[in-house]
Amino acid sequence: MKKIINNPADVVPEMVDGLVRSYPQYLRQIDGTTAMVRSDEDSMAGKVGLVSGGGSGHEPAHAGFVGKGMLSAAVAGQVFTSPTPDQIYEAIKAADHGKGVFLIVKNYSGDVMNFDMAKDLADLDDIEVKSIVVDDDIAVEDSLYTQGRRGVAGTVLMHKILGAAADQRASLDEIEALAQKVLPNIKTIAVALSAATVPEAGKPGFTLADDEIEYGVGIHSEPGYRREKIKTSKALTEELLGKLDSEFHFESGKKYAMLVNGMGATPLMEQYIFSHDVLDALAAKNITPSFTKVGNYMTSIDMAGLSLTFFELADDQWLDYLNYPVETIAW
């Protein structure tokens, strides 16, 4: 294992400290925690707070999306491990400015349980809290970490949509209703060329031969649905887009947003080549996405590979929300 770290046990606190000290214009660390809140707290007055988080190793998610127009706070757990309820609770308190707090939770058993426990703690303080559990990964059902589908890169689009609504002073009930409408319209699928190496484990979560790939892997190196010899970008496009088409039944008369997300070790050059092939395949169906993003948004430490997310824009306002200006580290 080759990593630029000190003690593996100190990876998360040192990362969080380096992050907030590098970007004080966006973030401050909540004392005694690895949770981070917007440093411009005065501007959150009169608005619903948005909190997300999860295990570390997915950077820039989630702290990279804390700021004006997106999240109010984010909680960093240990690597690939849910943050504890007390830390989530501190983030909820910091994000609450009298209008309630909405939690955006990826569908992993630990995250769902711990965010629910934090919600219960907030109830005791009379902080109104509601939530959505994002389950956008179409690759597998009931993985090692979940009941049902996993929450992956589509979670970032949920941050963006709800963040824009909150910044425009949508109520807690309105944000909950919006999240419930948006969720079934976001779908993601991934492919890996190599697995992630958790610093304290010191070895990859699984092993692929130099000429192998695996379809449908999760962001914690969970298994996918098929392993085979490496393919060209065009062949990967056919596989991933085909799986998404079986969910969406793409139509030229509908509007879509597209997110090509690097898993941590795939160069942007390759992500853009893949995007080129996806856009060509869509053009053959007479479809041009109304919104596109390419880059590293929800990674898996040093995994090589990428994920492809589509979001059917069933409401024209959703496109406005995607284009709404933000001030964050990563968007």
Q: How far apart are CA 206 and CA 208, in angstroms?
A: 7
Q: Among the options 97, 159, 220, 276, which is catalytic?
A: 220
DSSP secondary structure of 9-64: GGHHHHHHHHHHHH-TTTEEEPTTSSEEEES-GGGGTTS-EEEEEEEESSTTTTGG
Is 276 in the active site? no
Query: ∠ at Cα 259 (204, 131), nearest 5°?
Result: 85
Is 220 in the active site? yes
The tokens 């426990």 sit on which residue?
Answer: 117
Taking the CA atoms of 105, 110, 116 and 117 in sequence, report the sign of the dihedral they define: negative
**Backbone conformation region of residue 67, classed left if phi is above 0, alpha if psi is from -120 to 50, else beta:** left
Q: How far apart are CA 188 and CA 154, in angstroms?
A: 6
Q: Among the options 58, 62, 97, 249, which is catalytic?
A: 58
Q: Where are the alpha helices (DSSP H) in the chain?
A: 11-22, 85-95, 109-124, 154-167, 172-182, 233-248, 268-283, 316-322
State the CB neighbour count (10 A cutoff) for residue 82: 24
DSSP H or E stretch at residue 130: strand 129-134
What residues are annotated to the active site? 58, 220
